[in-house]
Amino acid sequence: MAYLVSAVLPPQNVLMAGVFISLIFGAFLHGLSPTVASARGTLLEGVLGLSYNRWAMEIVSINEMKYYQDDMRNVIIMMARGIGLCGVDLLLEDDGSEGISASEAVSFLRIQYNFNMGYCNKYKSTAYGVLVALGLGFRMLAFIFLRFNTAKHH
Predicted confidence (pLDDT) per residue in 36-73, tens digit:
888 888 998 888 888 888 899 999 999 998 888 888 88
The mean pLDDT value for 84-109 works out to 84
How many CA atoms does the CB half-sphere of 71 hold within 13 Å? 3
What separation in angstroms does the CA of 144 have from each of 6, 14, 31, 50, 104?
A: 12, 17, 29, 19, 50
CA distances (Å), origin 88, targets 47, 53, 77, 80, 115: 21, 20, 7, 6, 10
CA distance 111 to 59: 21
The pLDDT value recorded for residue 47 is 85
Q: What average pLDDT does range 4-8 have in this prediction?
A: 69
| 14 vs 54, residue with greater confidence | 54
Query: What is residue 122's predicted lDDT score, i.e. its pLDDT?
Result: 92
Which of the four pLDDT bands, split at 50, 70 and 90, describes residue 20? confident
Q: Do residues 2 and 138 lie in contact, with contact meaning Cβ atoms separated by under 8 Å?
A: no
Does residue 154 carry a pLDDT above 60? no
Q: What is the pLDDT of residue 82?
A: 86
Whether pLDDT at 144 is above 80: yes
Mean pLDDT, range 111-133, rounded to an integer: 90
User: What is the pTM for the complete model shown?
Assistant: 0.78
